[in-house]
Amino acid sequence: MTTFEQIIEKNMRAQIAGIEVLPICVYGPVGVGKSQSITAITSHIKAGIVVQSITSTSFESWSGIPDFDKSNSFDKYNINGRTNCSATQWTIPEVIASVNLIAEKEGSAVLHLEDLHECDSGTEKIMYQLLLDKRIGEFRLHEKVAVIASMNHTKQANFKGFSSAVKSRLNLTEYQFHFDTWFQNYGRFLHPLISSFLKTHQQYVSESESRDLTASASARTWSKLSDEFHLYSNTELTSVYTQILSGQFHLQQ
């Protein structure tokens, strides 16, 4: 286990044990395996995991939605003498509910906040409360839930920065790609032909992923090919491999 993995594991275990530590935010290049590493470490400590992407989770899932409850005690404030007044209350946010259910079932859980660099002003306020107090509104996380975040390098993500309030609640940790670690935790479980190829040709796995239309040979690229391997004929596979490897050669030049 690398020093990086040890840091993540210790942080997860500390949070689950109720020790007050800052949640870690892992940052690094696109497609190098940040999320895969967090998932592997979570599995190692035998905790459940819920991954919430900032980009694909609706605002209502973070905040909850308004509900109405009969509150006769407020009737006295109605200037028209109306009775049976309703008060607004908020339902439990879906994010809180989903990870709490996993924690109850598995005994502990990790809430992975993915693509944290995509926070807008509204979500950032929710993140501050979630990171500071492990709650959203009046609903809190289960006491056995650890919070871990991940994000891309600032330059690649066009990241404009967090407010000082959010940044002060995070332990920023840079992800360092190590082929052996990635292969042991994830790569060896890919399609057998891809796994055996990469085991003897590790130089063909790059540490970064292109964000334009050029080919790339990142860990995520190989994982995607493994998932889709059954879709290709032998002739098509030769073409796909060539494209991926050309991206690797391009990166090395």
Report residue 75 as tokens. 């009737």
The crossing angle, in degrees rounded to 10, of helices 192-200 and 219-228 is: 150
Percentage of the chain surpassing pLDDT 70? 88
Q: Does pLDDT of 137 surpass 80?
A: yes
pLDDT digits (tens, 9 = 90+) for 1-47: 678 888 999 999 999 999 989 999 998 877 777 888 899 899 999 99
User: Which of 8-12, 66-70, 136-140, 183-187 is predicted most confidently?
Assistant: 8-12
Q: Is 212 exposed, middle or buried (0-12, 13-18, 19+ CB in 10 A)?
A: exposed
Residue 162: band (very low, low, confident or very high) from pLDDT cuts 50, 70, 90: low
In the chain the domains, ranked by start, together with CATH numbers, are 1-61+93-176 (3.40.50.300), 191-253 (no CATH)
The pLDDT value recorded for residue 161 is 62
Report residue 103 as tokens. 């924690």
CA 77, distance to chain mean position in Å, is: 46
Cα separation, 168 vs 161, whole angstroms: 12
Which residue type, as a one-letter code, is found at position 186?
Y
Cα separation, 221 vs 219, whole angstroms: 5
pLDDT digits (tens, 9 = 90+) for 74-132: 777 777 887 877 777 778 899 999 999 999 999 999 999 998 888 887 788 888 889 88
The pLDDT value recorded for residue 142 is 96
The pLDDT value recorded for residue 115 is 87
DSSP conformation letters of 78-90: -TT---S-EEEEE
The pLDDT value recorded for residue 96 is 93
Average pLDDT, integer, range 163-173: 79
Q: Contact 139/96 with Cβ under 8 angstroms?
A: yes
DSSP character at residue 51: E
Higher pLDDT, 30 or 250: 30
The pLDDT value recorded for residue 138 is 86
**How do 24-28 and 145-152 pair as beta strands?**
parallel
User: Strands, E, within 15-103: which ranges?
Assistant: 24-28, 48-53, 66-70, 86-90
Buried b (16+ CB within 10 A) or exposed e, 157-194: bebeebeeebeebbeebebebbbebbbebbbeebbeeb
Cα separation, 25 vs 34, whole angstroms: 10
- pLDDT averaged over every residue in the chain: 83
Q: Does pLDDT of 213 surpass 70?
A: no
Residue 60: band (very low, low, confident or very high) from pLDDT cuts 50, 70, 90: confident
The pLDDT value recorded for residue 253 is 44
Average pLDDT, integer, range 217-242: 83
The pLDDT value recorded for residue 119 is 81
The pLDDT value recorded for residue 110 is 97
Q: Does pLDDT of 48 surpass 60?
A: yes
Cα separation, 198 vs 222, whole angstroms: 9
> 32-46, 127-141, 167-181 — which is least confidently predicted?
167-181
Report residue 58 as tokens. 């609706």
The pLDDT value recorded for residue 149 is 92
